Amino acid sequence: MSGAPPSSVRKGSAWAIWLPLALFVVFVVLVTVGLLRPADRNVASTLIDRPLPSFNLPSPLPGGAGLKSADLSGGRPRLLNIFASWCVPCRVEAPQLAQLAKAGVTIDGISVRDRPDALQAFLAENGNPYSRIGADNAGSVQLALGSSGVPETYVIDGKGRVRYQHIGEIRPEHVALLLGKLEAAK
């Protein structure tokens, strides 16, 4: 070991010692700003309080009714759920959707990039809370809604305007929140 006496303590470059910390602080501030910015964008979705884009989707299942944007302005608030049989979180949220349906909420579904047989199996397994289902095979309606993934749920008011967007699966703790948003949309 260097048992050197601290006789020649460096003094001249005292400020230089703090330079790395200063640079690091600049870095942290910069990335914090960067991290917060996209989060701000999430809240300010421009679709909120605007009418839905118009669409007319066929039914994914033989004999179903399909889903038009006009169906959604039926005077009462309702939920629009974007889902797919291949999506794991959609299975996670199925019990909550069933609970909401039982509470008297009308739920319409848009199934994204799905196959009829897989969808049939999914509904048989997880229950079918939907009053209507539209098949969005190209994902174009999903994109028009400003949804980047599955699942996503929208609260639509009686005039067919988007009032609230829920990203990700509906967990048990979100049910009350959604019911509240539906109430507010009346």
Partner 1 sequence: MATVHSPRIKAKHQRLVLLVIALAVVLLAGLLAAWALRSQASYFYVPSEIVAKPPEADRFVRLGGMVEKGSLKTAPDGVTIRFVVGDGKSRVPVSFSGIVPSLFVEGSGVVAEGRMQPGGTFKADNLLAKHDENYVPREMQNMTQAQARKVVAETQ
Partner 2 sequence: MIAELGLAALWLAAALAVLQLVGGALALTARGSALGDLVRPVAVVQGLLALVAFAALIRVFAVTDLSVRLVALNSHSMKPLVFKIAAAWGNHEGSMLLWVTVMGLAGGFVALVERRLPERTMLATLAGQAFVSLGFYAFLLIASNPFERLATPPAEGNGLNPLLQDLGLAFHPPTLYLGYVGLSVAFSFAIGALVTREVGPAFARAMRPWVLGAWIFLTLGITAGSYWAYYELGWGGWWFWDPVENASLMPWLAATALLHSCGVLAARNALRAWTIMLGVVAFSMSMVGTFLVRSGILTSVHAFAVDPQRGTFILALLAINIGGALTLFGLRAGTVTEGERFAVVSREGALVMNNVLLSAILGIVLFGTLYPLAAEAMGAKVSVGPPYFNPVSALFFVPMLVVLAVGPLLRWRQDKLDRIGKGLALPAAMVVVALLAVLMIGGAGLLPYLGLALGAGLAVASFLPLRDRNLRRTPLPIWGMVIAHFGVAVALLGMASESAYSVERLVALRVGESTAVGPWSVRLASVDPVAGPNWTALEGKLEVRYAGGAVEVARPQARNFWAPAQQTSESSLLTRWNGQLYSVLGEEASDNRWQVRLWWKPFVTLIWLGGMLIALGGVLAVIGHVLSDWRRIVARSRIADRRESQGR
Q: Which residue in the set 35, 43, 44, 176 belongs to the binding site for partner 2 (CB under 8 A)?
A: 35
Sign of the C-alpha dihedral, residues 132, 138, 139, 140? negative
- Smaller CB distance to partner 1: residue 160 or 168? 168
- Smaller CB distance to partner 1: residue 138 or 184? 138
| Residue 165, H or E segment | strand 162-167
Provide long-range contacts, Cβ within 8 A and 24+ apart, for 159-164.
Answer: 159/51, 159/73, 160/51, 160/52, 160/69, 160/70, 160/72, 160/73, 161/49, 161/50, 161/51, 161/52, 162/47, 162/48, 162/49, 162/50, 162/51, 162/52, 163/48, 163/49, 163/77, 164/48
Contact partner at residue 14 from partner 2, partner 1, none, CB < 5 to 8 Å by partner kind: partner 2
113: contact with partner 1 by CB under 8 A: yes
Number of residues lying near partner 2 (CB under 8 A): 38
Helices (H), the chain: 14-43, 88-102, 116-126, 140-144, 175-184
Q: Which residue in the set 82, 88, 130, 177 belongs to the binding site for partner 2 (CB under 8 A)?
A: 88
**Which range of residues in 14-22, 48-56, 97-105, 150-158 is near partner 2 by CB under 8 A?**
14-22
Question: Restricting to residues 29-68, which ones interact with partner 1 according to CB under 8 A?
Answer: 38-39, 41-42, 45-47
43: contact with partner 2 by CB under 8 A: no
Q: Which amino acid is at 135?
A: A
Phi and psi at 158, nearest 5°, equal: -60, -25
Q: Which residue in the set 58, 95, 146, 158 belongs to the binding site for partner 1 (CB under 8 A)?
A: 146
44: contact with partner 2 by CB under 8 A: no
- Smaller CB distance to partner 1: residue 29 or 138? 138
* Residues binding partner 2 (CB under 8 A): 1-2, 4-11, 14, 17-18, 20-21, 24-25, 27-28, 30-35, 37-39, 86-88, 91-92, 94-95, 121, 125-126
